[in-house]
Amino acid sequence: SEAGEASARRGARRAMEEVPTRASAGKTARAFVGVDHDATAIEFAHAALGTDVVAVRQDLEKDRDHATRDATARFVWDGAAPMATWLCENATTRVRGKRVVELGAGPGLPGIVAAKLGAREVVLTDLASELELLRANAALNGLEVRDDDDDDDGDGDGDGARKE
């Protein structure tokens, strides 16, 4: 619901801390580090996105399915925001009109940013058990979600082996 989406965005704590970094050729750049893994949602904004703010939820249910779930896909990693920043700063040559893939996307922040920047197609991948969060985050940001399941077994991975 729109109210739930707005609540998730409002509920996001200050999730990232801006710190200066030194880039090549003596240029000073900014990166974001220190993602708050206790925040329900993370927001990312950049001038290249205009007024769009990309918001992704994190999975805070740490104990749910702990034996079968890979915890690395539940949270936005500290490197996701610098990667999204790089995509924004290089959108015209590296993103717009291109096909982009994010392997092990977790909540999908860089891939969703790439889609918002005008990538022709974005493929976000992760373990089959983690795709629910990824799908929800894509939908939260107004993106069309398409599952490619070329083996028609219904699990979305295309490998012909049904996951139970």
Please list, in sequence order, all residues whose beta carbon lies within 8 angstroms of the beta carbon of residue 9, skipping any fewer than 6 positions away: 41, 43, 53, 55
The model's pLDDT over 34-87, given as tens digits with 9 standing for 90+, comes to 788 788 899 999 999 999 999 999 997 765 555 665 678 998 998 999 999 999
How confident is the model at residue 16, as a pLDDT?
37
CA–CA separation, 113 and 110 (whole Å): 5
107 in Cβ contact with 35 (< 8 Å): no
CA separation, residue 43 to residues 52, 57, 99, 147 (Å): 10, 9, 24, 25
* Average confidence (pLDDT) over 15-35: 44
Give the 3-state secondary structure percentages of the chain, helix then strand then coil, rounded to 5: 30, 15, 50
Lowest mean pLDDT among 58-72, 106-120, 135-149: 58-72
CA–CA separation, 153 and 139 (whole Å): 23
Q: Please give the model's pTM, rounded to 2 decimal places.
A: 0.72
